[in-house]
Every structure is written in structure tokens, then in C-alpha cells.
Structure 1
Amino acid sequence: MGLLEQCEELFKNSNLYEVLGVTKGASDAEVRRGYYKLSLQVHPDRAQGDDQATTKFQVLGKVYAVLSDKEQRLVYDEQGVVDEETDCLSQDRDWEEHWRRLFPKITLQDILDFEKQYKGSEEEEEDLRRLYTLHEGDMDRIMEAALCCGHDDEPRIRLVLQRAVDAQELPAYKAFTHESNKKAANRKRKAEKERREAEALQKEMGLNAEDSLVAMIQQRQKSKEKGFNSFISDLEAKYCKKTSKGTKAKKK
């Protein structure tokens, strides 16, 4: 089965750009970010023994391999075909190893700098709008998936989304506009529990100021859709290396 057929079967869409949630005119950075956001959601680490998650992860790697290569992307754009014989789409390729090898390690300061730049940015607002649409206004799932945020950020995030709903830029999902007080309270209790666990870890391990900050970030991201390691990898996407080029094209 070819890549386009695999995309249709696994993601109900054979358009490589739409699979990654980007447009045909997306920049390399946008394609890269789209790939990482989606691949981290289906990463096999999140579902041990889940063969479909592993397959999806591999297929997304192939999609990115095509769209990140100028020659292959040009062929796909012009002819709607993919080179199935190129080395970068080899069935024997270790996609997990390849995924890890693409990116250099980042530091704690990189994380803090990213958070500072990301919060309140247009990029964050675009991400929140995407999550709102994806999860149909469910604040539980939006808060779980949103980057760089804790419970204290919820009023700010809700305000961003409410403004977009009021301006009719987003649909008024009932899950958002009529969320019950009980559901919001449950989310607050969960956040407070995670905060207490982070503080307990800090005390138990006798962490210094910097290590304590790492622990709090880890604990905060632990319950996220992507998890702490995935959060780190999402940032590493900004430092992606180029992949090899292919030359052949094969019709689906």
C-alpha cells in the first residue's frame, strides 16, 4: 500500500498537507511544526502495544519526509504523486531513531525562553483556536493539550477563545459556552492535586531552585496530551535538520 493510500486509511485524508494540518503554501517551519504536533499525539510511547499508533507514527514520518524535501514536495505539488522507492520512505527505516536524530537537545533556558515568547503570542492564539475546534470547545481537553499552561492560565485562555466566539471567528460550541460549574471545579481540583504532588517531589528530593523548576514543569506537563518528553520534542522541532532527497515519482 502506497503512502497516499495509508494516509487515507489511517487519517481519512490522502492530502499530505491536510494530514499535517497545514496548507499547501505552508513554510518549512509550519510543515515541521504540524508534523511534530500530530506525531507526538500518536507517539507509540503514549500507547504501549498499540500497533495502530506505531503505524500512524511511521506514516507521519513519511509524510514529513516528502514535504520537507524540496524535490519530492515539488513533484507532489505538481503531479500529486509520491516517490515510493526513495530511501527516505524505506519500510526498514527506524522511524523512532530517525525522529530522535533530527533534533539537538535543548536546555532548561530554551524551555523558559520559549514559554516567555509563546504566551500571549499570535502563535499561541492560533494553537488555542485549533485546539478549540479540534475538541469542540471541551475545556478539559483544551487545557490538557495546550502548551506552556497551568490552571492559572485558564482565565486568560478562556478569554482568548471567548473573544473569538463573540466575533464569530469560532463556532459557539455548547461544551464551551454552557460548561457546568461542576466540570470546571473538577478541573481545578485536578490542577491543585498536581501542584501538591510537584511540591511534595521538591521536598522529598531536596531540589534546588533550578531543579525544582524542572520538576514543576515535568509535573505540569505530565498530565498533558503530549507529556513532558513530547513537550520538549515539540520545541526541538524548531531545530530540525534537512532530510535526504529523492528523485523518482510513482502514481498512486
Structure 2
Amino acid sequence: MGLLDRCQELFNTANLYEVLGISKGATEAEIRRSYYKVSLRVHPDRAPEDPQATDKFQVLGKLYAVLSDAEQRAVYDEQGAVDEEADVLSQDRCWEDYWRLLFPKITVQDILEFEKTYKGSDEERQDVIQLYAQHQGDIEAIMASVMCCSQEDEPRICSIIQEAIKSGAATAFKAFTQEGEGKKKARRKRAAKERQEAEELQKELGLGDEEDSLAVMLKQRQKSREQNFSSFMSDLEAKYCKKSAKTPKRGKK
């Protein structure tokens, strides 16, 4: 059974772009990021309850191999077909190794280095505005979703949003512009409790330097906001992990 047939069988669509939830005009970075997110959801180790997880994971690997290869993608875009004989679809490839080669694990030092360049950048501003629109002004959801963000960053994040509203780059949602003082106090109280717990854990473990402190913070965030923490790590790995060296292209078998 060919790749397109397998996609139809496992994902209910033979359109490679639809499987990843992206458009035909998606950039290489968007394809890579979407592949990571979708493959993470069906990874056999993370979805043991899905009897088709392994098959889905392998099919996604082949799908990405096609769309990430300029020649193979061009053939698919023009003809709506996949060259099953192409070397990128080699049946003896270990798709788990291929996936880990593309997405090596993120370390605490990677996060520290990324945080220094991300905070205050135009990229952060764009992400904040996008999340503001996505959550329709719900600052709690926004704060939980912005990467490398803590309660101390709220005034800065709100300032970004306010400037975007003022310039016309964002809609003035009532959830943001008219948020009640009670919600603000509850959010600050919750954040203070999380910070205190993190500090107590840090003292208990005898940790002191910046890297150890961040590790504690990440563990605390994972405990209190599991879903958003996972999303943060997914985005970070998909967008910023070091790319491995490209394998040399080979011709058809």
C-alpha cells in the first residue's frame, strides 16, 4: 500500500498537507514544526493506548521525508502523486532514529540561551499578538502560553498587547480591556504560591546557580500547568532545536 493510501487509512485524508494541518504554501519551517507536533501526539511512547500509533508514526516520517525534499515535494504538488521508488521512502530506514535526529532533546542550557534572545524580540511580540487573538484577550490563557514567561512578565506582555491595540494591529477584546480586579488578584496569588513552592524546592535540593534555578522553575511549571508546559516544550523543540547535518541526496533506486 502506497503512502497516500496509508494516510487515507490512518488519518482519513490522502492529502499530505491536511495530515499535518497546514496549507500547500507552507514554508519549510512550518512543515517541520507541524510534523513535530503531529508526530509527538502519535509517538508510540506517548500514545500507548493507540494500537495504530506505530504505523501512524512511521507514515508521518515518510510524509515529512517527502515534503522536506524539494524534488519530491515538487512532484507531489504538480502531480498529486508520490514517487514510492524514491530513496527518501526507503523501507529500511528507522523512522524513530530519523525523528530523534531532527529533534534532539532540549537541555536547560538551550532554554537559557533561547530565553536571552527571545524576550523582548519582535518574534516574541508577534507570538504575543497571535496568542492574544487566539485566546480573545484572556490574559490568563495568554500568560500560560507565551514561551519563557512568568508572572513578573505580565506588565510587559500587557504593554505589548496595549500597543498593538492602539496601533490597530489587534482587536480590543473586553476580556482584556475590562478584566476584573478579582481575576488579577487571584492570578497574582496563584503565581506567588508557585514561586514560593519553587523557592522551597530549590532550598531543599541545595540548588543555587541560574541553571539549577531554571530547572526547578520548569519542574514547578510542569507540575502546575502540565498541558501548557508540554506545548511550550513542543514549540521550543520544533522551532529552535539545532538542525542536524543534511544527509546527502541520492537518486532513485
TM over 0.5: yes
Total equivalences in the alignment: 244
SS in 1 for 2:241: helix
Separation in structure 1 between the aligned mates of residue 233 and residue 26 of structure 2, nearest angstrom: 30
Corresponding residue number in structure 1 for 2:146: 146
Paired residue type of 1:24: G
What are the Cα deviations for residues 194-240 of structure 1, in whole angstroms up to 9, with x where unaligned? 21121111111112324233222433455261437546634653425
Q: Show the counterpart of 1:179.
A: 179
Q: Which amino acid counterpart does residue 233 of structure 1 have in structure 2? A: E
Deviations 1:59-98 (A, max 9, x none): 7655543332212222233344455776766999876654
- The root-mean-square deviation of aligned C-alpha atoms, in Å, is 4.2
Q: In the TM superposition, what whole-angstrom CA distance separates every residue of 1:1-28 from its partner, at most 9, and x where no partner exists?
A: 6477589858xxx5728955578263x3
Once the two structures are superposed, the pairs formed by residues 126-141 of structure 1 within 5 Å of their partners are: 126-141=126-141
Once the two structures are TM-superposed, the CA of residue 143 in structure 1 deviates from its matched residue by 1.5
User: Which TM-score applies when normalising by structure 2?
Assistant: 0.70
Mean Cα deviation higher: 43-52 or 106-115: 43-52
Change in 2 beyond 3 A, CA 1:216/1:97:
same
Greater alpha carbon shift after TM alignment, 144-153 vs 60-69 = 60-69
Aligned to 1:225: 228
Higher-RCO chain (CA-CA 8 Å, sequence separation at least 6)? 1
Q: Give the 5 Å matches for 1:241-252.
A: 241-242=245-246
Looking at CA atoms only, which structure, 1 or 2, has the larger radius of gyration?
Answer: 2
CA distance in 2: counterparts of 1:61 and 1:90, whole angstroms: 11
Give the CA deviation at 1:151: 0.8
The answer to whether the 8 Å contact 2:32/2:238 transfers is no
Structure 1 position 186, deviation (Å): 2.5
1:198–1:39 Cα change, 3 Å: farther
Within 2, Cα distance between the matches of 1:189 and 1:45?
39
CA gap 1:8/1:45 in 2 versus in 1, 3 angstroms: closer
Return the alpha-carbon distance in structure 2 between the equivalents of residues 57 and 43 of structure 1: 6
Question: Does the 8 Å contact 2:20/2:38 carry over to 1?
Answer: no
- AA in 2 matched with 1:115: E
- For residues 56 and 170 of structure 1, the distance between their equivalents in structure 2, rounded to whole angstroms, comes to 38
Match of 2:241 among 231, 237, 244: 237
Q: Look up the equivalent residue of 2:75 and give its one-letter code.
A: V
8 Å contact 1:66–1:72 — kept in the other structure? yes
| Structure 1 unaligned blocks of 5 or more | none
CA distance change for structure 1 residues 204 and 135 in 2, over 3 Å: closer, same or farther? same
* Unaligned stretches of 5+ residues in structure 2: none
Distance 1:127 1:197 in 2: 29
The answer to whether residue 126 in structure 2 is matched with residue 122 in structure 1 is: no
